[in-house]
Structure 1
Amino acid sequence: MKRMKSYSLVLGASFVSVLFVVMLISLVYTPHPPNEMNIRERLQAPSVRHWLGTDNFGRDILSRVMVGSQTAFEVGAVSVAIGLLGGFLVGTLAGYMGRWVDELLMRATDALLAFPGILLALLLVSISKPSLFQTMLAIGILSIPSFARVIRSGVLQHKEADYVKAARGLGAGHANLIFVQIAPNIASSVVTTAALSFSTAILIEAALSYLGLGVQPPDPSWGRMLNEAQSYLAKAPWFTLAPGLLITLTVLGFNLLGDGIRDLRDKKS
C-alpha cells in the first residue's frame, strides 16, 4: 500500500513536470508557427516534417498542442489563485468567527455547490463575450467552495489547539493567530486541494473551449482542437489523438499528484 502511495506521487509529479517543460519550451520554440495555415498540407498524417500530422487548415498539430499547454497551465494557475484567495477569505472567516458568520458563509457555499459545475461555468461565461479571462474567472469562482471547506475545517481544528491558546495568551493578535499559527498547519491540505482543483480547471476549460465558449480562434486550445477534429475522425484519426491524450494525461497527472500529497500528509500525521 505504501508503495502504491509513493507511485501516485512519483507518477503525478513526472506527468506534470514533463508537461510543464513542454509548456516552457513552447514559449520560445515550436517546430512551426502554430497558427500558420497551409491548405496544400491539410490533414496530412504524421511524418518527419509534421510529427503529429496537420489539421484541417494545414496547421502543425504538434506546434498547436505545445502552445495549447500554455492555455491549460494559465487557466489552471489563475483559476486556482482566484479560488484560493476567495476560499481563504470565506473559510477563515467562517472557521475563526463561527456562529452566524459561519452559518451564513457555509450556506452561501452550499448554494454555489448545488449547481452542476459545468452548467454554472456555462452560465457565467455566456453572460458576456467568451474570452480566456471570462473562462478563468468562472472556473475560479467555481473552485472557491472547495478551498473554503478545507480551510474552514483546518481553522476549526487548530484554533482551539494548545499552541494557539498559548499564543493568544501571550498577546498575539488575530492576524498572527491566523497567518502565523494556523495557516502553516493547514498548508498541506490546501496544496492537495489546489492540485485537484488545477486538474478540474483544465478539464472545464477544455469543455468550454470545445463548446466554443472558452479560448477563441485562432489561439490553440486542446478542447477547441477536439471540436475541430470531430468531423474528421474517420479521415484523420490522428487529429484527435494529441489533444485528447494531453487532456487525459494532464488531468491524471494533477489528480495523482494531489492524491500523493494527501497520502504523504496522512502518513506524517
Structure 2
Amino acid sequence: MNSGKKITLWIGLTLVALLFVLMAVSLFYVPYGANEMNIAGRLQAPGAAHWLGTDNFGRDILSRIMEGTQTAFSVGFFSVCIGLAGGFLLGAAAGYLGRWADELLMRAVDALMAFPGILLALILVTIFKPSLGQTIIAIGILFIPSFARVIRGGFLQTKEADFVKAARGMGAGHAALIFRHIVPHILSSVIVTASLCFSAAILVEAALSYLGLGVQPPDPSWGRMLNESQAYMSKAPWYALAPGLFITLTVLGFNLLGDGIRDLRDRRA
C-alpha cells in the first residue's frame, strides 16, 4: 500500500474513532440536557458557556450534536445489520445453489434495486408512523441488494476454489463449507460494504429527518437540526454549521475507512 492510500485509511480511522469516542462520552456526560430549553438565551453565538452556541429554543447545540451521534451510530449499526442479514440470506443462497435459485433470487434483488434508494425509503417510512425504529428498518431494507450482490459474487468465485473443492472431497458438509471456508474468504469484501453502507445510512437518516420523516422531535437528529436552522441562516449561521459539519465528517470518515480497507485487501489479494 502506497503512502497516499495509507493516509486515506488513517484519516478515515481517526475520524471514525473520534466520533465514536464522542458518542461514548455522550452516553455519560453532556454539558446541558439536549432538550433543556432557555428561551432567554436563544440563538446565542458560540462562547464559553455554549461552545457551539444555542438554537432557536435556547438549547445547547453541542449537547444536541453529542446526543445526535447516538442517533447516527444507532441508525448506521442496526440498518447495516438488517441489510447484512437479508443480503447474506439472498446472496449466499443464490451464489451457493446457483442455477434456478440464483436466477430467481437475483431477479428479486434487481426489482428492489430498480427503485431509487431515497424514494424507496420515503415510501417505507410514510407507510408507517415516522420514528427511529421505522427509519432503521427502511434504511436496512435499502442495503439488502448491496450486500446480496457482494456476497453472491464472493460465493460464486470462492466455491470453485481448490481449497473448497478439497474440503468438499474430504466430506465437509454444506454448513462447514459455507461458514468455515467460504465466509472467512469473503469477509473483507463484506466489511468494506458495511463501512460504505454505514455512511450512506447516516446520510439517508439525515435526509429523512430533514424532511420530517425520520427521527421525531424532541429527539436530537443532525438532519432535523439542519431543517430547524434554515430559517436562521442569516442571523445565526453557526446553528446550521455544526450539524452540517458533523454529517460531512461522519460520512467522509466511513467512506475513507471503507476505501482504505478495500485498498489494503487488494494489496493482499
State the TM-score, normalizing by the size of structure 2. 0.99
Give the deviation of 1:3 after TM superposition: 1.1
Following the alignment from structure 1 to structure 2, what is the Cα–Cα distance between the partners of residues 178 and 164? 9
Give the deviation of 1:2 after TM superposition: 1.3
Residue 155 of structure 1 corresponds to 155
Confirm whether residue 130 of structure 1 aligns to residue 125 of structure 2: no
Confirm whether residue 141 of structure 1 aligns to residue 138 of structure 2: no
Residue 15 of structure 1 corresponds to 15
Residue 171 of structure 1 aligns to which amino acid in structure 2?
G
Question: Residue deviations 1:17-36, cap 9 Å, x none?
Answer: 00000000000000011100
Report 1:178-189 matches (<5 A): 178-189=178-189
Residue 89 of structure 1 corresponds to 89
Confirm whether residue 75 of structure 1 aligns to residue 75 of structure 2: yes
Question: Residue deviations 1:99-147, cap 9 Å, x none?
Answer: 1110111111111111110010000000010000000000000001100
Question: Residue deviations 1:39-89, cap 9 Å, x none?
Answer: 000000001000000000000000000000000000000000000111111
Residue 195 of structure 1 aligns to which amino acid in structure 2?
S
Residue 229 of structure 2 corresponds to 229
Following the alignment from structure 1 to structure 2, what is the Cα–Cα distance between the partners of residues 104 and 10? 41
Residue 218 of structure 2 corresponds to 218
SS of the residue 1:124 aligns to: helix
Following the alignment from structure 1 to structure 2, what is the Cα–Cα distance between the partners of residues 132 and 100? 38
SS of the residue 1:35 aligns to: coil
Following the alignment from structure 2 to structure 1, what is the Cα–Cα distance between the partners of residues 158 and 95? 10
Residue 182 of structure 1 aligns to which amino acid in structure 2?
I
The size of the alignment, in residue pairs, is 269
Confirm whether residue 24 of structure 1 aligns to residue 24 of structure 2: yes
Question: Residue deviations 1:163-190, cap 9 Å, x none?
Answer: 1111111111100000001000000000
Gaps of at least 5 residues in structure 2 are none
Residue 235 of structure 2 aligns to which amino acid in structure 1?
K
Confirm whether residue 53 of structure 1 aligns to residue 44 of structure 2: no
Residue 39 of structure 2 corresponds to 39
Following the alignment from structure 2 to structure 1, what is the Cα–Cα distance between the partners of residues 147 and 3? 29
Following the alignment from structure 1 to structure 2, what is the Cα–Cα distance between the partners of residues 229 and 189? 39
Following the alignment from structure 1 to structure 2, what is the Cα–Cα distance between the partners of residues 107 and 255? 28
Following the alignment from structure 1 to structure 2, what is the Cα–Cα distance between the partners of residues 239 and 109? 41
Following the alignment from structure 2 to structure 1, what is the Cα–Cα distance between the partners of residues 188 and 20? 22
Question: Residue deviations 1:227-258, cap 9 Å, x none?
Answer: 00000000000000110000000000000000
Confirm whether residue 113 of structure 1 aligns to residue 105 of structure 2: no
Residue 137 of structure 2 aligns to which amino acid in structure 1?
L
Residue 137 of structure 1 aligns to which amino acid in structure 2?
I
Following the alignment from structure 2 to structure 1, what is the Cα–Cα distance between the partners of residues 154 and 2? 25
Report 1:159-198 matches (<5 A): 159-198=159-198
Give the deviation of 1:38 after TM superposition: 0.5
Following the alignment from structure 2 to structure 1, what is the Cα–Cα distance between the partners of residues 142 and 166? 37
Residue 31 of structure 1 aligns to which amino acid in structure 2?
P
Following the alignment from structure 2 to structure 1, what is the Cα–Cα distance between the partners of residues 2 and 185? 23
- The CA RMSD measured in Å over matched residues stands at 0.6
Confirm whether residue 102 of structure 1 aligns to residue 118 of structure 2: no
Residue 102 of structure 1 aligns to which amino acid in structure 2?
D
Following the alignment from structure 2 to structure 1, what is the Cα–Cα distance between the partners of residues 75 and 18? 18
Give the deviation of 1:4 after TM superposition: 1.1
SS of the residue 1:31 aligns to: coil
Following the alignment from structure 2 to structure 1, what is the Cα–Cα distance between the partners of residues 149 and 256? 21
SS of the residue 2:154 aligns to: helix
Gaps of at least 5 residues in structure 1 are none
SS of the residue 1:253 aligns to: helix
Following the alignment from structure 1 to structure 2, what is the Cα–Cα distance between the partners of residues 72 and 221? 8
Following the alignment from structure 1 to structure 2, what is the Cα–Cα distance between the partners of residues 135 and 144? 15
Following the alignment from structure 1 to structure 2, what is the Cα–Cα distance between the partners of residues 89 and 237? 47
